[in-house]
A = this chain, B = another copy of it.
Amino acid sequence: MKLDDTPLDRTAVACEVGSAMYARDRVAQRLGMALETVRPGYAAIAMSVSEDMINGHGICHGGYLFALADTACAYACNSYNVNTLSQAVNIVFMAPAQCSDRLVAEATESNHAGRTSTYDIKVFNGERKVIAVAQGQCRSLRGKLVDGLPSLREPS
CA gap between A64 and B71 in the complex, in Å: 11
Stretch at the interface among A1-9, A35-43, A114-122, A147-155: A114-122
A12 is an interface residue with CB less than 8 A from chain B: no
Whether the Cβ atoms of B88 and A62 lie closer than 8 Å is no
A27 / chain B contacts, CB cutoff of 8 Å: 52-55, 61, 63-64
Closest to A135 in B: B135
Taken residue by residue from 15 to 33, chain A's Cβ proximity to chain B (1 for < 8 Å, 0 otherwise) reads as 0000001001111001000
Residues 53-98 of A at the B interface (beta carbon under 8 Å): 53-56, 61-64, 66-68, 70-71, 74, 85-95
- A98-116 near B? 1/0 per residue, CB < 8 Å: 0000000000001101001
With A24-B56, A52-B30, A56-B24 known as contacts, the answer to whether A118 contacts B133 (CB < 8 A) is: yes
Report if A137 contacts B (CB, 8 A): yes
CB distance from A119 to the nearest CB of B (A): 9
What is the CB-to-nearest-CB distance from A47 to chain B, in angstroms, rounded to a whole number?
A: 11
The 7 closest A-B pairs by CB, nearest first: A63-B67, A90-B90, A24-B56, A135-B135, A111-B130, A66-B66, A25-B56
